[in-house]
């Protein structure tokens, strides 16, 4: 169960009966194998979108297909300040990939104004996954202090600092 207690399968099988119906059937079948370990619920995507805004803490793991996942993850990122604060983790049985949710931001290339928070938070998730939660927590605390101080943050956070200046401030708070 990887320390998770609840899985919410999000679908639109009430309208997309064939494709989403299959998705729902497979989700239910997989859930049966873990019924003694993990709570399983299924929700229609519309209701999930509203519930995510009203009470995001009711969710632990959301499983959905790509289109709904893109929408819900961007919506959830908006609850914490935007995509710049959103880490991503794709964890499988044998492999894991950690990344900033917003992607590579090619429109910001070479300008030294990209917000490094999503990438650093993804690194914290990776460290936790690798069994090094203390190190990840130290980085997270330094990042949190830097953002709260708001002295050296990038333009998307209302500051005037470069990516390098923001990273240096985080590093200073790490010590």
Query: Which segments in the chain show pLDDT lower than 50?
Result: none
CB 115 within 8 A of CB 167: no
Residue 175 has a pLDDT of 79
The angle that helices 45-54 and 66-79 make with each other, rounded to 10 degrees, is 10
Alpha carbon distance 58, 55 (integer Å): 6
Residue 1 has a pLDDT of 57
Residue 65 has a pLDDT of 95
In sequence order, the 6+-apart residues with CB closer than 8 A to the CB of 99 are 87, 88, 90, 119, 122
* Residue (of 147, 171, 127, 163) closest to 82 by Cα position: 147
CB 99 within 8 A of CB 130: no
CB environment 40-62: b (16+ within 10 A), e (fewer): bebbebeebbeebeeeeeebeeb
Per the confidence metrics, is the pTM higher than 0.95? no
Find the DSSP H helices in 36-88: 45-54, 66-79
**Could you give the maximum distance between any two Cα atoms of the chain, in Å?**
55
Alpha carbon distance 79, 73 (integer Å): 10
Alpha carbon distance 1, 174 (integer Å): 32
Alpha carbon distance 40, 114 (integer Å): 38
């Amino acid at each position: 169960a990887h320390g998770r207690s609840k899985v919410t399968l999000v679908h639109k099988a009430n309208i997309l009966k064939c494709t989403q119906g299959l998705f729902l059937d497979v989700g239910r079948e997989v859930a049966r194998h873990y019924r003694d370990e993990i709570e399983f619920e299924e929700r229609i995507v519309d209701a999930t979108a509203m519930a995510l805004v009203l009470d995001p803490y009711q969710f632990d793991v959301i499983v959905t297909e790509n289109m709904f996942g893109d929408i819900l993850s961007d919506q959830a990122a908006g609850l914490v300040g935007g995509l710049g604060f959103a880490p991503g983790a794709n964890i499988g049985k044998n492999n894991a990939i950690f990344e900033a949710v917003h992607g590579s931001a090619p429109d910001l290339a070479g300008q030294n104004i990209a917000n490094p928070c999503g990438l650093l938070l993804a690194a914290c998730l990776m460290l936790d996954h690798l069994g090094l939660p203390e190190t990840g927590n130290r980085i997270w605390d330094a990042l949190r202090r830097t953002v709260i101080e708001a002295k050296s943050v990038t333009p998307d956070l209302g500051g005037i600092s470069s990516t390098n200046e923001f990273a240096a401030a985080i590093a200073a708070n790490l010590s």
